[in-house]
Amino acid sequence: MKQLDLSGQSILLTGAAGFIGANLALRLLKDESLKDMHIIGLDNVNDYYDPAIKEYRLKQIAAAAEGSSSEWTFVKGSIADEELIKKLFAENDFRVVVNLAAQAGVRYSIVNPDAYMEANVMGFYRILEACRHSYDGGREGVAHLVYASSSSIYGESTKIPYRVEDPVEHPVSLYAATKKSDELLAHAYSKLYEIPSTALRFFTVYGPAGRPDMAYFSFTKKLLAGEKIGIFNYGKCRRDFTYVEDVTDGVLRVMKGAPERKTGEDGLPLAPYAVYNIGNSEPVELMDFIRILSEELIAEGLLPSDFDLAAHEELLPMQPGDVPVTFADTSALERDYGFKPSVPLRDGLHAFVQWYKEFYRL
What's the burial of 293, exposed, middle or buried (CB within 10 Å: 0-12/13-18/19+)? Answer: buried
Angle between helices 215-224 and 345-359 (to 10 degrees): 60
Cα–Cα distance measured from residue 60 to residue 32, given in angstroms and rounded to the nearest whole number? 17
DSSP 120: I
DSSP 152-189: GGGTT--SSSB-TTS-----SSHHHHHHHHHHHHHHHH
75: phi then psi, degrees, rounded to nearest 5: -125, 125
Residues 6+ apart with CB under 8 A from 270: 191, 261, 262, 263, 264
Residues 115 and 79 sit within 8 Å (Cβ to Cβ): no
Helices (H), the chain: 19-30, 51-66, 82-91, 108-111, 113-116, 123-133, 174-193, 215-224, 244-255, 286-299, 331-337, 345-359
The CA-atom distances, in angstroms, between 344 and each of 228, 292, 348 are 27, 11, 6
Residues 65 and 38 sit within 8 Å (Cβ to Cβ): no
In this structure, is the dihedral angle defined by the CA atoms of residues 91, 93, 99 and 100, taken in order, positive or negative? negative
Instruction: For residue 121, give the nearest of 84, 79, 150 by alpha carbon.
Output: 79
175 is catalytic: yes
Residues 15 and 148 sit within 8 Å (Cβ to Cβ): yes
Secondary structure of residue 66 in the 3-state scheme: helix
Residues 56 and 359 sit within 8 Å (Cβ to Cβ): yes
Residues 154 and 168 sit within 8 Å (Cβ to Cβ): yes
List the catalytic residue out of 48, 147, 154, 175.
175
Which residues are catalytic, by number? 175
